[in-house]
Amino acid sequence: MDEIFSVLPEQLPFIIDFRTGRNITKVGHAWDFVIDSVFSSVSDLNLYQDSPEHLIAIKKASGILKEKAVIDYEF
């Protein structure tokens, strides 16, 4: 997952901040991986979600067994 998604900031100039991380704890309620990204607007988030680069990353990751949660919020 890290290899697949961590290249996106280099490809998409409208990403303000982007980091990936792997869980370092062994607690049962923790998830394994996170993508934390920042965009200047909801429009830029939509550009990211619909970009060919992001869609390719999703397709590459589709073979990895996972549960997914998405949280989009404004701050």
Q: pLDDT by residue (tens digit) across 10-53? A: 999 999 999 998 889 988 888 888 999 999 999 999 999 999 99
In order of start, what are the domains of the chain with their CATH numbers?
2-61 (3.30.70.100)
Residue-level pLDDT at 7:
95
Enter the pTM of the model. 0.82
CB distance 15 to 38 below 8 Å: yes
Is the Cβ–Cβ distance between 5 and 35 less than 8 Å?
Answer: yes
Q: CA nearest 19: which of 38, 35, 8?
A: 35
> How far apart, in Å, are the Cα atoms of 28 and each of 24, 34, 62, 68?
12, 16, 24, 16
